Structure 1
Amino acid sequence: MNTKLKYRHELKFMINRHQYFVIRQKLKSIVEQDSHVGPTGEYHIRSLYFDDINNTALHEKLGGIRDRSKYRIRIYNNSDKLIHFEKKIKFNDFIAKLKEPLTRDMHDSIISGNYEVLNIPDRPLLQELYYEMRNNLLRPKVIVDYAREPYVCPRGNVRITFDKELRTGLNSTNIFDESLNSIPAIDDNLIILEVKFDEYIPEYIRVALQLEGLNQQSASKYVICRKYLKTNIWEDY
């Protein structure tokens, strides 16, 4: 465990639309919306996930390996004003995230196969990505696309998000394609509820979320979306 990282708890639940409306109504009177939301109370997230030649991130998740990591490029609202290359780390029941900003030119170079733009010694995450791409053939695998409705509470540093309309891009790694050919990855009635916190969840939030009545799930958007690729990655399972 890297003690220099900020590790947090993360709970995930798959809920239906009725549960969403009930929980959201209770939350709105006790927590604030994230300041980055637009007029609809949401923002759009599009991520391009990477995996190596052995599909290590995919198989470790499917195999129930507790300590694992995955890489992705993430943008918001289909804009190139903020582009991050991220590494999400899971250790036991904790998560942490490392990220580095990319310029649009750097992004385009990476997608075109020019990984030298990542060879920057004083930026460790980019250097790690450069190594993974050169030695383990880390490559773009799938686009994950959804709308996020986020709420925050400073007590316990709690962040609650409803991720809706999960879609995946078919056979494309162009996250800036406004006409991306995407399809629903889960039933439209389902929403992914995520709860992240540092040490504790205040009791009044726990009650509003109805956590005692929800079944915690390992809802990996990456794994859900990978099943739509033409290549049959499930043949060994």
Structure 2
Amino acid sequence: MNSTLKYRHELKFFVNQHQYQIISTRLRNLVSRDEHASSSGEYHIRSLYFDDINNKALHEKLGGIRDRVKYRIRIYNIEDTTIHFEKKIKFRDYIAKVKEPLTREMTDEIMVGRFEGLNIPDKPLLMELYHEMKHNLLRPKVIVDYVREPYVCHHGNVRITFDKELRSGRHSTELFNKNLDPVRAIDENLIIMEVKYDEYIPEYIKAALQLEGLNRQSASKYVMCRKFLKYNSWEDY
């Protein structure tokens, strides 16, 4: 484990609409809304995930490899005011994230396969991405699109999110397309609940979530969207 990174626990669950209504109602009376959420309590996330010529990230996840990384560009509310290239690191039961801001111009270049702009020696993550794209042919694979309802609890630094309407889009150049019509990649009755925390979850949060009775799942949104495209004959692994 890299001691310079901040690792956190991450638990994922599928919840149905009924479970979501019960848990979210409880949380509203116990914890705060995320400050970045709109008046509706939500915001929109769209990520462009990358993989190399061998689809390493996909196959490692499907093969149950515990220690692995994923690369993605992430935007919010389909705007170009905040763009990050992120590296998500999985180590045993912990996760960490490293990110670097991108300009819209840099992002547009990357989406069409021009990555020389990442060759910035004093930006380690961008240099890593540059070498991955140059030597391992790291390239955009799928757009992952959803609406997030986030809650935060300062005790234990717990973050609980409900990710709704998971959708998949294939064409990387449409990352900023507000008229993009991605296709649903999950049953419309299911919502992904994620619980992230540092050292512990307070007992009153555990009681509200009732995690023991939920359907724990391990499939990443990236894998779900890639598999959805394959099963619908749009893509070959």
Which TM-score applies when normalising by structure 2?
A: 0.96
Distance 1:113 1:24 in 2: 41
Distance 2:144 2:109 in 1: 21
What is residue 156 of structure 2 aligned with on the other side? 156
What is residue 48 of structure 1 aligned with on the other side? 48
What is residue 103 of structure 2 aligned with on the other side? 103
- Residues 86 and 98, structure 2, Cα contact 8 Å, conserved in 1: yes
Mean Cα deviation higher: 223-232 or 54-63 = 223-232
Kindly provide the amino acid, as one letter, of the partner of residue 44 in structure 2: H
Mean Cα deviation higher: 206-215 or 130-139 = 206-215
- Residues 142 and 173, structure 1, Cα contact 8 Å, conserved in 2: no
- Residues 10 and 197, structure 2, Cα contact 8 Å, conserved in 1: yes
What is residue 94 of structure 1 aligned with on the other side? 94
| SS across alignment from 1:3 | coil
Distance 1:225 1:83 in 2: 21
- Mapping for residues 1-237 of structure 1, pairs under 5 Å: 1-227=1-227, 228-229=229-230, 230-233=234-237
The C-alpha deviation readout for 1:74-124, integer Å capped at 9, x for no partner, is: 000000000000000000000000000000011011112221100001110
TM superposition shift of 1:172: 4.2
TM superposition shift of 1:40: 1.0
- Residues 14 and 219, structure 1, Cα contact 8 Å, conserved in 2: no
| SS across alignment from 2:66 | coil
Which TM-score applies when normalising by structure 1?
A: 0.96
TM superposition shift of 1:174: 1.9
Distance 2:206 2:148 in 1: 20
Note the residue ranges of structure 2 that are not aligned, 5 or more in a row: none
Distance 1:48 1:170 in 2: 9
Distance 1:143 1:159 in 2: 24
The C-alpha deviation readout for 1:10-38, integer Å capped at 9, x for no partner, is: 00001100000000111111100000001
Distance 1:6 1:27 in 2: 26
RMSD value over aligned CA atoms? Answer: 0.9
Kindly provide the amino acid, as one letter, of the partner of residue 235 in structure 2: T
| SS across alignment from 1:131 | helix
Percent identical across equivalent pairs?
A: 70
Note the residue ranges of structure 1 that are not aligned, 5 or more in a row: none
| SS across alignment from 1:57 | helix
Distance 2:174 2:62 in 1: 26
The number of equivalent residue pairs is: 233
Mean Cα deviation higher: 16-25 or 105-114 = 105-114
Distance 2:148 2:194 in 1: 10
The C-alpha deviation readout for 1:131-185, integer Å capped at 9, x for no partner, is: 0000000000000000000000010000000000000113444210112131100
Distance 1:212 1:13 in 2: 10
Structure 1 stretches of 4+ with a deviation exceeding 6 A read: none
Distance 1:86 1:79 in 2: 17
- Residues 170 and 183, structure 1, Cα contact 8 Å, conserved in 2: no
| SS across alignment from 1:80 | coil
